[in-house]
Amino acid sequence: MPRRKKPLTPRALAFAIALAAAPGMALAQNGANVCPLGVFVCPVVKNNFALCKKNDLLDFYVPGLPKGGNREASPAQVYGDRFSSPDSNIFHLTGNTSLQRLDQLLRADSLTYNADTTAYDAEGNVRYQETDMLMSARRMYGTTNPEHGVADDVLYQLLTSRGNGKATQAIVLDQNHAKFHEVTYSTCDIDNRLWTIQSKRMTMDENKGRGYAHDVTMRIKGVPFLWLPYMSFPIDNQRQSGFLYPQFGKRGRAGYFFGIPYYWNIAPNYDATFTPMWFSDRGGMLGTQFRYLTASSKGIFNLDYMPNDKITGTDRGYLTFSNQTTLPWNLQWSTSIAKVTDKSYFQDFGLNNTSALVTLLGSSSYVTTSGNWWNAGVGVDTYQITTPGLPDVAAPYRRLPRLYFSADRPIGGPGGPEWGMNAEAVRFVKPEAIGGDRFDLYPFLAWPLQGAAWFLRPEAGVRYTAYNLPQPVAPGDPTHPTRTTPIFDVDGGLIFERDVHLFGNDYTQTLEPRAYYLYVPYRNQSDLPLFDTQPLTFDFWQLFTTNSFSGADRQMNANNLSLALTTRFLDQNGVEKLSASIGQIRYFTPEKVTLFPGGKIMNYSGSDYVANLTVSLSDNWRVTSSQEWNPNTNETDASMVGLQRRLWGDGIVNLDYRFRRGLLEQADVSAEVPVGAAWKLVGGYTYSMSQKKTIDSFAGIQWNSCCMAISVLSRHYVYDVKGDSNSAIMFEIQFTGLGSYGQHTGTFLQNAILGYQ
């Protein structure tokens, strides 16, 4: 049932105000050219430190030191402006002193070195550098062989990441290990550490790319908010077993939830993640993910399982599995499986608040192979209804199995005629309905001809479709019906170009007339079943296809001529700035083939006029439109208009309108609006004008700094076909380079806002 949003508690509100009051910084905008206009999903930048300053410790970094080699076998070299030696082994150096062994470089105001024991003692403006770390200290002493160094009053910087901090003492144990006492760790700017890990004792393991801390207090702006007796965290991008950061939020109709993932790095090519979760309204759930990569296979297995839902009293679960395997003899095996225990699963739990309206899950498994001019495969397809109230009979027929073969090969050599074939054999199975076997074969001959400014492609073929049915479609019909239909089409066009100068810019304009003639004689198909066939949605590309139905159960008759005209404007770099197309089908004979016997015959002289328009007014503006106008009724049958505007680098606003007569009429707006360098407002609103109701709305705020980001989102959405709605609150706090708490709000926003960055 719909749930009311809970207000923020005073403590949470105070926490938000404290974050908002953080000191401002002069930060550079980023991502202005990362995501082009019109793309659906922008690339994700992992651990983006573009808002950070140059780290102060890097001021004494010395480039060009050796990065490989054996330290133990390398001699130590000492330098200084002045030195004295009480005996032949001990040297006292002052003035620009340094001690170097391979990648290790120690510099200080004064240095004492014992050549016999390799002991050293450096004091005053101590600066230490090795491949993975920089340190400044008041004093540093130890030996080079065996390698051991102790530094007091330390500031450190990891060179493999932005990890930095301070410690009362640091101990260099060997080439890949260091230990710190009374230490802090952060990835923030040194002069503005928004968050820190404070620990009594911490060890850095550069081999594993992990830090291990004991007696840990985590602070935001100096205020402690988390204590742990032990903590492991990444110091680079290596994988490592351990607990990940908690997830919490509100999911579907399951209530508020809390989960703690555990990551198991089984091997370099295997890993698993286990996430115990607790839902306030329904109980406990275990989420499991297993990933593998071998020389011949790769795949992901996911299972979310809840024993004994507190509301339904039943076990609940969702399973997905995908696999790709290379087999001998140039064979490929691909599998994709998705199953839920019941039809209400997505409404109750959802998937990051984006999957409440999943109505059908498909699963398939195929073995395929291909050559230079052909491809073939055999496999199965099954489907599961996931909408309450929708009967199982509404699911598509299962294809158990399906075999296909397609080929297209020149005769004699390139530029000449071609022969080709599309073939398919399927057994259709549905427990609630009568199935059967279907064989569909289409051999054809074509001759593609083209020049610099024209193309012409005639094609002739025969489509033969045969069935083996357990019983006829209607009494008196055959159980082995067939259909044989010749198909002939000619596709041709011209391409004209000219140079134009508009609005102070030079462009190349093209004019591309195109004509497509299609002839298919009428065949009575009332004795053929309907297994996987539906009318295709009419659009611009339907002007140039041989069938207005999906699947092979219906083949339209045609004596049609499609006429279309396209123009494009290309800038001097070949980038398309404008594309406009318009076209119509002229019918010389009525289209008699209908989906069901007795259906309405298309008896017009012409189809809808269809037009597409795409305009990139600049690098920041994009307009798209698609229109279908019916000259027979003088009405618009379909309309789509979209406007996209870039704002201040990585901001964006989308305005869209969608209409299809008798089906839907919707308008929506979505936006990502930067407010200064650190803040963003995000939101979206979808309104159904045909239903006169809001079907989805969300709003939120994001704050992003050098090393920390916070997102808070509120969403209200319709989650089923009956119009029932629900509310959700999503919260995420991210410590850059360390991890995040809460829900992954970025996943939702990438799906909800076209071009979100």
The answer, yes or no, to whether residue 564 has pLDDT greater than 70, is yes
Asked whether residue 657 is assigned to any structural domain, the reply reads no
Please state, in angstroms and rounded to a whole number, the distance separating the CA atoms of residues 227 and 247.
17
At residue 40, the pLDDT reads 54
What single DSSP character describes residue 256? Answer: E
Q: What's the pLDDT score for residue 264?
A: 85
Distance CA 311, CA 345 (A): 12
Encoded tokens for 138: 């008041």
* Residue at 613 is within a domain: no
First to last CA, the chain: 33
Pick from 4-18, 217-231, 477-491: least confident: 4-18
pLDDT at 60: 85
C-alpha torsion angle, residues 347, 352, 353, 356 (rounded to 10): -30
State whether 326 and 227 are in the same domain: no
Q: Is the N-terminal amide bond of 146 cis, ω within 30° of 0? A: yes
Region 475-491: mean pLDDT is 96
Contact 370, 415 (CB under 8 A): no
Contacts of 252 (CB under 8 A, 6+ apart): 346, 347, 348, 349, 350, 353, 356, 719, 726, 728
What token pair was written down for 651? 């901001």
Q: Which residue has the tokens 């064989």?
A: 439
Whether the Cβ atoms of residue 653 and residue 673 lie closer than 8 Å to each other: yes
The backbone torsions φ and ψ at residue 571, rounded to the nearest 5 degrees and listed phi first, read -80, -175
With contact defined as beta carbons under 8 Å apart, do 549 and 556 qualify?
yes
Task: Record the tokens describing residue 696, joined without a space.
Answer: 């989805």
Angle at 645 between CA 640 and CA 649, to 5 degrees: 150
For residue 153 the two structure tokens come to 């009053």
Do 119 and 99 meet the contact criterion of CB atoms below 8 Å apart? Answer: no
SS3 at position 402: strand
Return all residues near 584 (Cβ < 8 A) that are at least 6 apart.
543, 562, 563, 564, 606, 607, 608, 609, 610
Q: Could you report the per-residue pLDDT of 425-447, keeping only the tens digit for each?
A: 999 999 888 899 999 999 999 99
How many other CB atoms sit within 10 Å of the CB of residue 502?
Answer: 11
Among 403, 435, 454, residue at a domain's last position:
403
**Which residues lie below 8 Å from residue 648, measured CB to CB, with a gap of 6+?**
29, 674
Write down the H helix ranges in 157-311. Answer: none
Residues with Cβ within 8 Å of 126's Cβ and at least 6 positions away in sequence, in order, are 106, 107, 108, 135, 136, 137, 138, 139, 140, 151
In terms of phi and psi (left: phi > 0; alpha: psi -120 to 50; beta: otherwise), the region of 648 is: left
CB 625 within 8 A of CB 638: no
Residues near 275 by beta carbon (within 8 Å), at least 6 away in sequence: 247, 259, 260, 261, 262, 286, 287, 288, 289
- Tens-digit pLDDT profile for residues 98-116: 898 888 899 999 999 888 8
E-only strand ranges, 56-147: 77-79, 82-84, 90-101, 104-114, 119-130, 133-143
pLDDT at residue 565, rounded to an integer: 97
* Residues sharing a CB contact under 8 Å with residue 51, sequence separation 6 or more, in sequence order: 25, 27, 28, 30, 677, 678, 704, 705, 706
Higher pLDDT, 171 or 48: 171
Q: Is 109 among the domain residues?
A: yes
Statement to judge: residues 266 and 330 lie in one domain: yes
Q: Are residues 282 and 253 in the same domain?
A: yes
* Interval 312-348: pLDDT, tens: 999 999 999 999 999 999 999 999 999 999 988 888 8
Contact assessment for residue 22 and residue 65, using Cβ atoms and an 8 Å cutoff: no
Among the candidates 381, 403, 425, a domain finishes at 403
Q: What is the pLDDT of residues 713-730, one digit of tens each?
A: 888 877 666 777 777 777
Residue 382 has pLDDT above 80, yes or no: yes
Query: Last residue of some domain: 372, 403, 434?
Result: 403
pLDDT of 54: 74
How many folded domains does the chain comprise?
2
Mean pLDDT of all residues in the chain? 84
CB-based contacts of 546, cutoff 8 Å, min separation 6: 487, 489, 518, 520, 558
| CA 253 vs CA 4, 354, 435, 438, 697: distances in Å | 12, 13, 37, 43, 17
91 occurs within a structural domain = yes
DSSP state of 12: H
Residues 62 and 144 in one domain: yes
Give me the pLDDT at residue 514, please: 97
Same domain, 190 and 250: no
The answer to whether 285 and 308 have CB atoms below 8 angstroms apart is no
- Tallying the residues shown for the chain, one arrives at 757
Q: Exposed (0-12), middle (13-18) or buried (19+): which is 757, by Cβ within 10 Å?
A: buried
Return the pLDDT at 34.
53
Q: Among 180-184, 480-484, 498-502, 715-719, which is the least confidently predicted range?
A: 715-719
Residue 375's pLDDT is 96
Percent of the chain scoring above 90 in pLDDT: 45
Higher pLDDT, 196 or 239: 196
Give Cα separations from 697 to 249, 269, 669 (angstroms): 18, 41, 9
Q: Output the domain CATH number for residue 163.
A: 2.60.450.10
Residues 79 and 171 in one domain: yes
Q: Is the pLDDT of residue 81 over 80?
A: yes
Establish if 431 belongs to a structural domain.
no
pLDDT for the residue 44: 53
pLDDT band at 377 (very low <50, low <70, confident <90, very high): very high
Q: Do residue 179 and residue 309 come from a single domain?
A: no
| Residue 67 confidence (pLDDT) above 80 | no
Instruction: State the alpha helices, DSSP H only, in 321-365.
Output: 345-348
Pair 265, 353 in one domain:
yes
Model confidence over 13-66: pLDDT tens digits?
233 322 332 322 222 223 334 566 555 555 555 556 667 777 666 678 888 888
CB within 8 Å of 228: residues ≥ 6 apart: 216, 218
Residue 280 shares a structural domain with residue 313: yes
Q: Do 164 and 257 belong to one domain?
A: no
Tens of pLDDT along 496-545?
Answer: 999 998 888 899 999 999 999 999 999 999 999 999 999 998 999 999 99
85: which DSSP letter? -
Q: Please report which confidence band the pLDDT of residue 152 belongs to, taking 50, 70 and 90 as the band edges.
A: very high
Q: Decide if pLDDT at 710 tops 80.
A: yes
Please answer whether residues 482 and 461 qualify as being in contact, where contact means their C-beta atoms are separated by less than 8 angstroms. no
In a domain, 749, yes or no: no
Structure tokens at 197: 């890990």
pLDDT at 90: 87
Q: Give the β-pairing of 436-446 and 119-130.
A: unpaired
Q: In the numeric block, which tokens belong to residue 428?
A: 């259709």
Instruction: Find, among 225, 164, 167, the residue nearest to 191 by Cα.
Output: 164
Percent of the chain with pLDDT over 70: 88
Residues 134 and 257 in one domain: no
The residue written with tokens 């994988």 in the block is 239
Tokens 């339904």 belong to 312
| 641-676 confidence digits (pLDDT tens) | 999 888 877 788 889 999 999 888 999 988 888 887
Domain range for 97 is 57-236
Task: Give residue 733's pLDDT.
Answer: 80
Q: Look at residue 540 in the predicted model and tell me its pLDDT.
A: 92
Phi, psi (deg, nearest 5) at residue 261:
-75, 145
Q: What's the whole-model pTM score?
A: 0.75
User: What is the pLDDT at residue 534?
Assistant: 93
Residues 246 and 185 in one domain: no
Distance CA 218, CA 229 (A): 11
Confidence (pLDDT) at 7:
34
Beta bridge partners of 287: 275, 304
User: Does the residue 472 lie in any domain?
Assistant: no
Angle at 188 between CA 185 and CA 194, to 5 degrees: 90
| DSSP character at residue 346 | H
| Residue 297, token pair as written in the block | 């296979």
Asked, for residue 157, whether it belongs to a domain, the answer is: yes
In whole angstroms, give the CA distance from residue 467 to residue 470: 10
Predicted pLDDT of residue 1: 34
What letter represents residue 532's amino acid? D
d(CA 542, CA 544): 5
